[in-house]
Each structure stands twice: as structure tokens, then as C-alpha cells.
Structure 1
Amino acid sequence: MIFRLLRLILIAIVAVAAQPSPGAMAQAIGQGSTQLIADQTKAIQDLTAKTDGLEKKLSAPDQDDAGLVDIRLQLEDISRAALNSALAFRSRLNDINARIAVLGPPPAQGQPPEPAIVANERAALTAEKAEINAVVASAQNLSIRISGLVDRIATLRSQLFRSVLTKRYELSDALSPQAFSDAHDQFTGLYKAVASWLTFALKFKFQAMLAATLMALALAAVLLIGGRRLFGRIFEADPSVEEPSYLSRLSVAFWSTLLPTVALGAFLASTVFFFNYYNVLRGDIGEFLNALLSVVAVAFCVNRLTNAALEPRLPNWRLIPVATGPARWLVRLATAMAVVLGFNYFLSVVNEKMGSPLSLTIARSFVATVIVGVILILMGVLKPFRAKDGSWRPWPAWLRFIAIGLGVSTIAAALLGYIGLALFVSIQVVVTGTTLITAYIGFLSARAIGEEGGFADTSVGRWLSANSSYEDTALDQLGLVVSIAINLMIVLVFLPLILLMWGFQPGDIETWAFKLATGVTIGSVTISVLGILTGIVVFAIGYFLTRWFQGWLDGSVMARGKVDTGVRNSIRLAVGYAGVALAALVGISAAGIDLSNLPLVAGALSLGIGFGLQNVVSNFVSGLILLAERPFKVGDWIVA
């Protein structure tokens, strides 16, 4: 017994002797902190050097809007990296502050001096904290500097946009005979470039070109044939229906514009992709082809939209009750306007790639804007409605004045030399107008589907009603969900398109989406869409897991154990309450909401219970007591 006790004492002494001293541990931690400081200092120096290079680029006189957006995105990445460098010291600073608090304040004057080991440790911790604060301060200064550069970029972009719209050009040189000679030389150069590439492609890349074309055509065939089989009843008007409902007309107009346009866009994009994949295109021809296919897509979308809304062949399916003749003219005028602007865009790409003189660019834009202005005036003065007495009536006054006013202002701006302003207005009338009209039709369709009984009248609703057990109430609820989904899809698809048309760059949309997903700060509250969606998904998973566990516990465990029906009901409900409460807490935490604020919520809830919720809480607690004590249970008869 004595030998065993001595052995235990010896083992304890050896273990204590083998443990590192606090000074040695502090030295090891200090060495790790020194390496961290050195690494983050080097990282911030590299970030500062990158910022210096980007700031020099801002001073370049030839910066365009896309280049400025790219610089801003790089600066924002640098700012986030600097913030991460500062956050890398959070854990070490907490340890230092905690250790300093343990050591306590240094002895006051006149007090006995503290041990040297304590004084040395406090001095080392203080010095280390000062070094860390210096690195954090440099990261914060870099972030402040980047914020100033981002504001400067916003100012430069605003000035660039205003200069494009307000710059005045002299039309005398643009409309001189020299402009016609320059245009002839331009088309001659374009013809030679395309002919030389086509000769080379047919001679050396014929098999690759044929394979790329066939693959693109195969994809187009799959989209068209499959789309017609799956969605034929949705985006094709049925001539046999004499009086289609408003919802049917809206759905056909919206989907007959959106689906074929998306299919054509996928076909054109796949064509360019396969041509690039097989190295069929060279640099200049690739840019020409991209511009030409963009023109085709825009003109097709405008034509589909006007045909869907006006439906010259089927008067019963028209959204706007205009006569057949004016409907055909409106489709032609709108398509012509899109073709003119698209052709102007294609020529602008050609002029930029081939180094055309400025006079030719001005002449091209002048002719295009004047044609668009004339088309707008013709559309405004058109009389599309026919009264019962056979007389023709014009558009409503507000719509007529807007169309004529836009046409006259576009022509006036072009004649005064403000070509940039005239071209901007023309493009917005066609592209933004088409986008807004399509989105508006989609919103109207979603609203009609969400109304009571609206979804049941659709082809999908009728199919579900005939092939499933859905009742009218369930179909209405499903229609509401479909309506919300369509609205969200329209916002997510059309809002970025409108922003791009109004001069914003993809980098702007990317930045806004990142901020919206990671968190928008309003006062002291940070709202994160991604966090909220994560919390909802986590709560939904917890809710369904709770329901599954309830069913498994009731049907597989308690049923086999011959547990009383009342006990089973009480346990099942108690598990349900506990599971939903736990899922709610986990969902709130996943959403990024600070659970430390729950005492405030509980206090507010207690105040509400004290004033107006006594009966609700009393009934709920009484139900819990009945579940626990079971004075009467499932199967008992109560006679009143």
C-alpha cells in the first residue's frame, strides 16, 4: 500500500515537471502571433500595392464605363481581403485582453513591485497588442481609402454618362459627300473581311463548321419540337375558341413571347459557343457575328411581342381591341423600328472594329434616330379603333401625345447635333419598352392566375383537376403559389435586363446581388436575404423531420407497445410542440438573428400577455395540463 502511494506521488511529480511553464506557453503563443502579424502585414502591403496600381488606372484618360466597373469590383475584393486580414486577429486580441485582465493592473506608485515574470509578461502582451492594433489600423485605413476611390469611380461614371448624352456634334461633316465615300469603303472592307474568312473556313474548317452548325440545329430542333409538345397549349392561340378568357389571352401573349425568344436565344448562343469551341471564328468575325445575332434576337422578340399582343390573324385573341388593318401596321412599324436600331448597333461594332472615321459614325446614328422618330410619329397618328358607325378613332390622348412627343424630340435632338441623346432615347423606346410591356403582361397573367378560380381555368389546372384528387380549394392555393413564382421569375429576369439597358454594367448588378445576399444594413439591423432563406429552409426541414418523427413514434413504437390512445396522443402533441419550437430556434439562428435579444422579446411578450393575451395563454396552458394529467382522454364521452 505504501509503495503504491509513493509510486502515485512520483508519477504526479513527473507529470507536473513535464508540463510547460506559463512563460514557455506564452512564448510559444507569442511566436505564433509574430508569424501571424508578419503574414498579415505582408498581405496588406500587397493589397496596398494593388490599390496603387488601380488608382493609377483611374487617371487614364481613355477609361470607359465597363473599365471603371471592373476597377471598382477589384477594389471591393481588395477591401474584403483587408477586412479579413483585420478579422484574423480577433481571437488573439481576445486572448490578450483576457490575459491582461487576469494579470490585473500594475501596482500603483508606492506599492510593492510585482514579480518580474508578471511585469515581463504584461509588457510583452502590451507590445504585441500594439503591433496587432497597428496592422488592424493599416487595414482600416486601406478600406477607407478604397471607399473614397469607389466614390470617385461613381463620380467619373456619372460624368462620362452625362458627357455622352450632352455632347454636341457638327452635322456638316457627317452629311457631306465624303461620308458616302467613307461608307462605301467601309462596306467594301467588311465584304472583303467576311469573304476571306468564309473562304478560309470552307477550305480548312469545313468539317468543324458543319459539325458546329448541325449541333446548334439539333439543339434548336429539340427546343422547338419539345417546347411545342410540352407547352403548345400555353403559347399557341387556338383558332377554334371563339371567346377566349382574359387569362388565356394574357397567358398566350406572355408565353408566346418569352418561350420562343428564350429558345432562339439558346440556339444563337449555342451557335457561337460551338463555333468558338471548334475554332471556326477569328477575332473580328466573332465580334461581327455576336452583334448580328443580338440584332436578330431583339428584332425577333419585338416581332413576337407585337404579334402576341395584337394578333393580326385572330381578332378574338387580341389583348388590345384594335382593327385588323392597323394591327398589321403596328406590327410592321414596331418590327421596322427594332430592325433599324439593331442594324445601327451592328454597324457601330463594324465601325469600331475597322477604325471608321467619326463622321461616318455620326451620319449612321443620325439616320437611324431620324427614322425611329418618324416611325414613332406614324404610330402616334395612326387611328387603330373603329367605331360602330364606321369612323376611325385615334389612340387615347395621353398615349398619342407621348408617342408623338418622343418622335419629335428624337428628331429635334438629332437635328441639333445631340446624337448621343437621340440614340439613347431611341434605344430605350424599343428595348426598354419591349421589356416593360412583356413584364407587364406577365404580371397581369400572374395576377389572373392568383385570383379565385383562375388557376382551375388554365390547361394545367384542368389537367390536375382531371388526373388528381385536388379540390377547388387546393387548386386555388396552388394557383397562389404559381402566381408568386411567376412574379419572382419576372423580377429576376426582367429587372437586370432593364438595368443593363439604362447604362448599368453587369458588375453593378453583381455587386448589388452580393450586398443583398450577404446583408443590407438599416440602422443597427442587418437584413440578409440569403440568411433569411437559409433560416426558412432550416425551419422547413426541422418541421418535416418533426412530423416524420411523430408519425414514426406513434405508428412504430407506441402502437407496438400497446400504449393507451390518450397517452399516445399526449406524447405525439408534446413531441410536435418541442420539435417545432426547436426548429424555430435553429432556423432563427441560421438566419443570422442574434439569440441574445430573445430576453427583450420575452419581456415584450410578457407585457403583451399581461395586457391582452391572458385568455389565449390561459387556454394554451390549460391544454398542456390536460395533455399531461389526462383527466379525460381520447375515447371518453362528454355529455353536456
Structure 2
Amino acid sequence: MFFRLLRLILVVIVAVLGQPVFDASAQAIGHGSAQLIADQTKVIQDLTAKTDGLEKRLGDPDQDDAGLVDIRLQLEDISRAALTSALAFRQRLNDINARVEVLGPPPAQGQPPEPAIVSNERSALVSEKAEINAVVASAQNLSVRVNGLVDKISVMRSELFRSVITKHYDLNDALSPQAFSDAHDQISGLYKAVSSWLSFALKFKFQAILAATLMALALAAVLLIGGRRLFGRIFEADPTVEEPSYLSRLSVAFWSTLLPTLALGVFFASAVFFFNYYNVLRGDIGTFLNALLTVIGMVFCVNRLTNAALEPRLPNWRLIPVATGPARWLVGLTTAMALVLGLNYFLSVVNEKMGSPLSLTIARSFIATIIIGVILILMGWLKPFKAQDGSWRPWPAWLRFLAVGLGLFTIAAALLGYIGLSLFVAFQVVVTGTVLVTAYIGFLSARAIGEEGGFADTSVGRWLSENSSYEDTALDQLGLVVSIAINLMIVVVFLPLILLMWGFQPGDIEAWAYKLATGVSIGSVTISFLGILSGIVVFIIGYFLTRWFQGWLDGSVMARGKVDAGVRNSIRLGVGYAG
């Protein structure tokens, strides 16, 4: 009772002596809080209006998968903005709770009333807190609503994918003579569009085309030449080596596929960028060019990979021990399959841009899937292994049945009118198969480099052994680091490619990358993969800096000072442990 009375006396003294200052401070804080409440209320209203517009777009029956992904990304931005708006009140709520705690609870019934200034202050704080809680609740409700719309989009995308894959088409119109006439008209229209643009571009944009092409070639040359100088003997097969190691064959197959393909991709991407920068391309020609360059890049990658893995000209560098004749057949069949699929994709872009009839699209896809199915069957029936007695042996049973089964399934689905399903299977066999095989070779190379003594056998390892003080143990540790780096590079490069091949949109990958970067919540624990990766990078950099400092301290400082060998070794160990 005494302490309560003492606190009441202190409050009265503060109220009497410091009333002007207290009132001025309270009014200033109240004004600032009111402005914050008004600003965040306006933010929530704007976000709600934007959400209403996006929800209306979801009702559009012509909405495609890319449009749904775009809506989802915008909704996720709205959700983050709403939560950010709610968090803007965190500091003010902490201040209000602290001030209410200082004021203490109101007097109980039957006790003397507290001063009016204290009662008014408590009422103002409670009222302000109620207003803030109302805005925070609105932000939370909007976030919940947005999350519901995101879930709805996921369901819509699944239904859209199933409808495309399982849709049945009538083949009668597609295989009629009218389809051939439509195809002739479309080819004529494409020729006229390209020839008219080309004559205009060569007449008025020749210098811009030349400059753009040269700059794109320069960028690709930098990547290709730099890759050759960096990787040296692991870039191309050396015909003078009679018995290359397994690691050498893996490295050549992987890097001789990846680097030229990347160089070609850089050339194409930079050429299109500079063409657009100099206003060389018009709308339809730009679309056709992008599709054509994509096809060329895909066919080049498939051909390069099969040549690197099978090496028809250099049997000793061959990853798969098949005979030379079947190796050439496999390279040709695989390239032909990629070419058919690429032409089908290019013509689909032309059909969409020129407004071709549906029958022409069905006919084109039907022919492409039948050809790919036949090629798969031929590859499965091929006998690539030659025994010592001169007889030819087929593929292992599981691989042979898989290839023939996929070919028959593709043909049967096309003949039954399920063109979308047939085309999807054919596309995944060619493109996803190429990506997976390249990634698998890369993983095998990384595993071989990470094994004991593996990195020392590479050209980089031999150079380090000859030109540095690295011992075998240090080279093995460095090989482990290189192995991990190659694996990370493969995941970063090839995982998005596979996701794109299986129908995911770039927006999906962007959203997942954002979640990985900001952290994944498991219960009350948040794991940030970007933070983990940053820690690994810091550790690697610190490790190499420590090793360099040890060598410099030992060779340049203590050696000149003629420090005793035992003391030098102790200092080196101490620096290493500290690092």
C-alpha cells in the first residue's frame, strides 16, 4: 500500500511539474502515429484494390499458364507488402505497451481515482492501440486472402496442364488435302515476311546488323577462347593419347559439350539483344528469330553431347563402349530426333504468329511425333556391341525395352488423337534426356575429381603441383572443393532447365529462388540457404587466405629472420588454427 501511494505521488508530481512538456511530447507522438496509421491504411486499401483486379483476371477463360504465373507473382508481392505494412507498427506498439506498463493498471473499485492526465493518457494509448490493431488485422486478412488465391492458381494450373495433355483431337481434318494447302500458304506467307524484312534491313540497317553481329561474336569468342585457355586438355579429346583415363574422358565429354553450347547461347542472346538495341528487328521477325535460334541451340547441344559421349572418330575416348558404326548411327538418329522436334517447335511459333488453322497445328505435331517414335524404336533395335566372335549384341534389356516402349507409346498416342500427350513425351525424351545425360556426366566428373588423387591427375592439378608448394593432401582437399563447386554449378544451371522443360514457368523458379534466399521456415526455425552458401564461400576464401598467409610468413618473414625451424613450424600451425 505504501509503495502504491508513493507511485501515485510521483505520478502527480510529474503531472504537475512536467505537464507542458508531457503534453507536447504526447501530442507529437500521437500526430506521428496518426499519420502512420493513415499511410498504412491507404497502402492496405491500394493493395486490396489490386487484389480485386487480379482476382477478376483469374476468371478469364482464356488465361494461359504464363498468365497465371504472372498473377501469382503479383499476388505474392502483395502478400509481402501487406505483411511489411503490418510490421511498420511494431516499434509503435512496443512503445505503447511500455508506456502502459509505466502507467500501471487503473485503480481498482473503491480506491482513490488517479489523476485525469494519467487517465486520459491511458485512454489515448488504448484507443491508438485499437486503431493500429485494426490496420494490422486488415493486412493479415489480406495476406490470408492472397494465399487462398495463390492456392486457387495452383489448382487451375494443374487442371490446365491435364486438359492440354489429355485433350483428344480429330485427325480427319488434320490429314485432309486442305491441311497441305494450308501448309503451302503458310510457308509462302513466312517467305514473304522474311524476304521483305531482309531487303529492308540490308538496305537501311546493314551497318547496325554488322555491328551487332560483330559484338555478339566478340562476346562468344571471349567465352570460348577463355574456356580453352582455362581448361586446356580437358576441353577437347587428344587423338595422340592412346589410353585416356576415365576422368579425362568424362571431363572432355562434359566441358566440350557445356562450353561450346554456352558460347553459342551467348552469341545468340547478345545478337538478339543488340539487334533490338539498334531497332533491327520488327515484332514478327523477332519472334521467328528467337524461335529459330532456340532450335539451332538445342540441335547443336544434342549433337555435341552425343559426339562427345560416343566419339565416332576416336574410339579410345568413347564413354560408351559401342562399335564405331553404331556410334555414327546413334549420333545421326539422336540429332535427327532433335532436329524434328526443333522444327516442330519453330513451326508452332510460326503457326501462332500467323494465325494458322488448328488442323495445320494438329497435322504438324502428328507427323513430328510419329517420326520421333520411329527413331526411338530404331535406336532400341540397334545392336551396338560387337563381341569377339564377330556377333552383334543389342542394348541391355531394360534400355532396349524402354526405348521401344516409349516409341510405341508416342506413336499410339498420336494415332489415337492424343497429340498433346504424344508431343509432351517426345519432347521430354529428347530435351530432358539431353539435359539429364549432360548433368550426369558432370556429376561423374565431379565425383572422380573429388576422389583421392583425382584432382592431382588433372591438368590444373599438375600445374599447381609443379608451380606451387601444395602437397598431395592439400591437392586432395582442393579437389574436394572443386568437386563441390562443380556439383553446385550443375544444380544451379541444369535444375532450372529441367523445371522449364517440365512445364514450369520462369516465375515459378523466381518464386522458389526468393524463398530459398529469404529462408524456409520449419516450425519456429528459419533456414536461409543463401546464408549457408555465404558461410561456405566465406570459409573457402578464409581457408585459401590463411594458406597464402602461412606461406608468405614462413617463406618471406621467418626464413629471412633465420627463425628456428621448430619455432617456425609452431607459428605456422598457430596461424593455421587461428585461420
| Structure 1 length-normalised TM | 0.82
Q: Which residue of 1 aligns with 2:529?
A: 529
Which deviates more, 352-361 or 116-125?
Answer: 116-125
**Counterpart mapping for 1:347-426 below 5 A:** 347-426=347-426
One-letter code of the match for 1:86? A
> What is the CA–CA distance in structure 2 between the aligned matches of 1:19 and 1:82, rounded to whole Å?
38
Q: Which residue of 1 aligns with 2:122?
A: 122
Q: Which residue of 1 aligns with 2:143?
A: 143
Q: Secondary structure at the match of 2:356?
A: coil
Tell me whether 1:59 sits opposite 2:59 in the alignment: yes
- In structure 1, runs of 5+ residues without a counterpart are 1-15, 581-640
**Counterpart mapping for 1:334-345 below 5 A:** 334-345=334-345
> What is the CA–CA distance in structure 2 between the aligned matches of 1:423 and 1:530, rounded to whole Å?
38
Aligned-residue offset at 1:548: 8.3
Aligned-residue offset at 1:158: 0.4
Q: 1:39 to 1:91 in 2, by over 3 A?
A: same
**Counterpart mapping for 1:411-450 below 5 A:** 411-450=411-450
> What is the CA–CA distance in structure 1 between the aligned matches of 2:539 and 2:260, rounded to whole Å?
39
Aligned-residue offset at 1:215: 2.5
Q: Which residue of 1 aligns with 2:7?
A: none
Aligned-residue offset at 1:25: 1.1
Q: 1:540 to 1:462 in 2, by over 3 A?
A: closer
Q: 1:539 to 1:26 in 2, by over 3 A?
A: farther
> What is the CA–CA distance in structure 1 between the aligned matches of 2:223 and 2:526, rounded to whole Å?
43
Aligned-residue offset at 1:540: 8.0
Aligned-residue offset at 1:439: 0.4
> What is the CA–CA distance in structure 2 between the aligned matches of 1:220 and 1:528, rounded to whole Å?
35
Aligned-residue offset at 1:108: 1.8
Tell me whether 1:477 sits opposite 2:477 in the alignment: yes
> What is the CA–CA distance in structure 2 between the aligned matches of 1:456 and 1:209, rounded to whole Å?
47
> What is the CA–CA distance in structure 2 between the aligned matches of 1:236 and 1:444, rounded to whole Å?
18
Aligned-residue offset at 1:536: 5.6
Q: Which residue of 1 aligns with 2:189?
A: 189
**Counterpart mapping for 1:30-41 below 5 A:** 30-41=30-41
Aligned-residue offset at 1:20: 4.7
Q: 1:111 to 1:542 in 2, by over 3 A?
A: farther
> What is the CA–CA distance in structure 1 between the aligned matches of 2:25 and 2:222, rounded to whole Å?
69
> What is the CA–CA distance in structure 2 between the aligned matches of 1:442 and 1:284, rounded to whole Å?
38
> What is the CA–CA distance in structure 2 between the aligned matches of 1:467 and 1:267, rounded to whole Å?
35
Q: Deviations over 1:535-586 (max 9, x none)?
A: 56677899979x989x99xx99xxx9xxxx99xx99x98x999x88xxxxxx
Q: 1:346 to 1:483 in 2, by over 3 A?
A: same
Q: 1:519 to 1:156 in 2, by over 3 A?
A: same
Please tell me whether the aligned partners of residues 257 and 304 of structure 2 are also in contact (alpha carbons under 8 angstroms).
yes
Q: Which residue of 1 aligns with 2:12?
A: none
> What is the CA–CA distance in structure 2 between the aligned matches of 1:281 and 1:144, rounded to whole Å?
45
Aligned-residue offset at 1:322: 0.3
Q: Which residue of 1 aligns with 2:231?
A: 231
One-letter code of the match for 2:41? T
> What is the CA–CA distance in structure 2 between the aligned matches of 1:309 and 1:539, rounded to whole Å?
36
Aligned-residue offset at 1:534: 4.4
Please tell me whether the aligned partners of residues 384 and 395 of structure 2 are also in contact (alpha carbons under 8 angstroms).
yes
One-letter code of the match for 2:377? I
Aligned-residue offset at 1:19: 9.1
Q: Secondary structure at the match of 2:320?
A: coil
Q: Secondary structure at the match of 2:477?
A: helix
Q: Secondary structure at the match of 2:521?
A: strand
Aligned-residue offset at 1:430: 0.4
> What is the CA–CA distance in structure 1 between the aligned matches of 2:138 and 2:115, rounded to whole Å?
35
> What is the CA–CA distance in structure 2 between the aligned matches of 1:186 and 1:542, rounded to whole Å?
62
Aligned-residue offset at 1:276: 1.1
Q: Deviations over 1:229-273 (max 9, x none)?
A: 443411211111111111111111111110111111111112111
**Counterpart mapping for 1:77-88 below 5 A:** 77-88=77-88
> What is the CA–CA distance in structure 1 between the aligned matches of 2:549 and 2:388, rounded to whole Å?
66
**Counterpart mapping for 1:540-551 below 5 A:** none
**Counterpart mapping for 1:295-310 below 5 A:** 295-310=295-310
> What is the CA–CA distance in structure 2 between the aligned matches of 1:167 and 1:354, rounded to whole Å?
23
**Counterpart mapping for 1:596-635 below 5 A:** none
Q: Deviations over 1:406-450 (max 9, x none)?
A: 000000000000000000000000000000000000011111111
After TM superposition, what 4+ stretches of structure 1 lie above 2 angstroms from structure 2? Answer: 16-21, 213-232, 530-545
Aligned-residue offset at 1:226: 4.2
Tell me whether 1:464 sits opposite 2:464 in the alignment: yes
Q: Which residue of 2 aligns with 1:607?
A: none
Q: Which residue of 2 aligns with 1:487?
A: 487
> What is the CA–CA distance in structure 1 between the aligned matches of 2:346 and 2:253, rounded to whole Å?
29
Q: Deviations over 1:583-605 (max 9, x none)?
A: xxxxxxxxxxxxxxxxxxxxxxx
Q: Deviations over 1:10-52 (max 9, x none)?
A: xxxxxx9899522221111011100000000011101111111
Please tell me whether the aligned partners of residues 221 and 263 of structure 2 are also in contact (alpha carbons under 8 angstroms).
no
Please tell me whether the aligned partners of residues 288 and 349 of structure 2 are also in contact (alpha carbons under 8 angstroms).
yes
> What is the CA–CA distance in structure 2 between the aligned matches of 1:252 and 1:259, rounded to whole Å?
11
> What is the CA–CA distance in structure 2 between the aligned matches of 1:470 and 1:429, rounded to whole Å?
45
Q: Secondary structure at the match of 2:526?
A: strand
Q: 1:521 to 1:18 in 2, by over 3 A?
A: closer
Q: Secondary structure at the match of 1:21?
A: helix
Q: Which residue of 1 aligns with 2:99?
A: 99
Q: Which residue of 1 aligns with 2:48?
A: 48
| Structure 2 length-normalised TM | 0.90
Which deviates more, 16-25 or 188-197?
Answer: 16-25
Which deviates more, 321-330 or 111-120?
Answer: 111-120
One-letter code of the match for 2:104? G
Aligned-residue offset at 1:313: 0.3
Which deviates more, 518-527 or 168-177?
Answer: 518-527
Aligned-residue offset at 1:531: 2.7
> What is the CA–CA distance in structure 1 between the aligned matches of 2:539 and 2:460, rounded to whole Å?
30
Aligned residue pairs total 549
One-letter code of the match for 1:253? A
Q: Secondary structure at the match of 1:144?
A: helix
Q: Which residue of 2 aligns with 1:154?
A: 154
Q: Which residue of 2 aligns with 1:325?
A: 325
One-letter code of the match for 1:357? P
Q: Deviations over 1:82-131 (max 9, x none)?
A: 11110010111111111111111112222222111111111111110000
Q: 1:201 to 1:536 in 2, by over 3 A?
A: closer
Larger radius of gyration: 1
Q: Deviations over 1:106-159 (max 9, x none)?
A: 122222221111111111111100000000000000000000000000000000
> What is the CA–CA distance in structure 1 between the aligned matches of 2:479 and 2:540, rounded to whole Å?
21
> What is the CA–CA distance in structure 2 between the aligned matches of 1:104 and 1:233, rounded to whole Å?
79
Please tell me whether the aligned partners of residues 216 and 266 of structure 2 are also in contact (alpha carbons under 8 angstroms).
no
One-letter code of the match for 2:74? Q
Which deviates more, 267-276 or 31-40?
Answer: 267-276
Q: Deviations over 1:37-75 (max 9, x none)?
A: 000001110111111111111111111111111111111
Aligned-residue offset at 1:216: 2.5
> What is the CA–CA distance in structure 2 between the aligned matches of 1:228 and 1:37, rounded to whole Å?
61
Which deviates more, 520-529 or 415-424?
Answer: 520-529
